Amino acid sequence: DAGITQSPRYKITETGRQVTLMCHQTWSHSYMFWYRQDLGHGLRLIYYSAAADITDKGEVPDGYVVSRSKTENFPLTLESATRSQTSVYFCASRRGGPLDEQFFGPGTRLTVL
Amino acid sequence: QQQVKQSPQSLIVQKGGIPIINCAYENTAFDYFPWYQQFPGKGPALLIAIRPDVSEKKEGRFTISFNKSAKQFSLHIMDSQPGDSATYFCAARAGGNMLTFGGGTRLMVKP
């Protein structure tokens, strides 16, 4: 299907385990973003990427790792999950210009026990 | 540190009412102010956006009012409907790539 997809949609893991959240977009958008959504905090940017092999930190990058070997994929890895990383994670993409619309995926609800 | 402060956190109105959601910012470098609408279980979707060179923008029943001197902007929903019940986020961007979001407002429109 065209658009932006995330997998899995729901994930339960334990403290200390490695978890990877996947994001795939079919538009060939240059920019991709990872946000986490927590009650009262809105959406906070974790990492973003301007193109393949170009990534940069956002507001809350600690504990997360990203990579972007292909334009269409932007996985987010929690190397050693902590309970504070329990959240809903959204991937987003944008074509190019700063005024271009940013499209969000459906989200992944992650619970760290 | 939240650079965009949004209020109220929740809002209940009757059908036909005009809910107003307010946002305030400090960073004068912000030059793009979008509003996003999010339904339960879905990702946010762009609703309407404004640049600081205009004071008001309307799209259908949704209006953004912008006060550059006060560093405030607000969303008004005219003739609100139960289908408008959602969470609304204001955001701002300072010419770069990062959108800074407000904390969100959960709106309920009662039939």
DSSP A1-67: --SEEEE-SEEEE-TT--EEEEEEESS--SEEEEEEEETTTEEEEEEEEEETTEEEE-S--TTEEE-
Closest to A108 (Cα-Cα) out of A92, A88, A93, A84: A88
**Minimal Cα–Cα distance from A73 to chain B, Å?**
18
Q: Residue A58: which of B36, B98, B103 has the nearest Cβ?
A: B98
Do the Cβ atoms of A99 and B41 come within 8 Å?
A: no
Name every residue whose Cβ is closer than 8 Å to that of residue B111 and which is 6 or more positions away in sequence: B15, B82
CA–CA gap between residue B91 and residue B95 (Å, rounded)? 13
Q: Roughly how many angstroms between the first and final C-alpha of chain B, as a whole number?
A: 37
A24, A5 in Cβ contact below 8 A? yes
Task: Label residue B101 by pLDDT band (50, 70, 90).
Answer: very high
CA–CA gap between residue B111 and residue B96 (Å, rounded)? 41
Give me the total of CB pairs closer than 8 Å, taking one residue from chain A and one from chain B. Answer: 56
Closest to B97 (Cα-Cα) out of A47, A81, A77: A47
Q: Does B97 touch chain A (CB under 8 A)?
A: yes
CA–CA gap between residue A42 and residue B106 (Å, rounded)? 11
B110, B14 in Cβ contact below 8 A? yes
CA–CA gap between residue A10 and residue A108 (Å, rounded)? 5
Predicted confidence pLDDT, tens digits, chain A (113 residues): 569 999 999 999 999 999 999 999 999 899 999 999 998 788 999 999 999 999 999 999 999 999 999 999 999 999 999 999 999 999 999 987 767 789 999 999 999 99
Do the Cβ atoms of A50 and B2 come within 8 Å?
A: no
Cα A25 to Cα A32, A33, A44, A74, A83: the distances in Å are 9, 11, 20, 9, 29
Give the residue on B whose Cα is nearest the Cα of A6.
B43
pLDDT in tens, B13-70: 999 999 999 999 999 889 899 999 999 999 999 999 999 889 999 999 999 999 999 9
Cα B21 to Cα A3, A46, B45, B74, B91: the distances in Å are 30, 26, 17, 5, 12
Q: Residue A90: which of B6, B43, B104 has the nearest Cβ?
A: B43
CA–CA gap between residue A4 and residue A1 (Å, rounded)? 9
Task: Label residue B2 by pLDDT band (50, 70, 90).
Answer: low
Per-residue pLDDT, B94: 83
Per-residue pLDDT, A79: 95
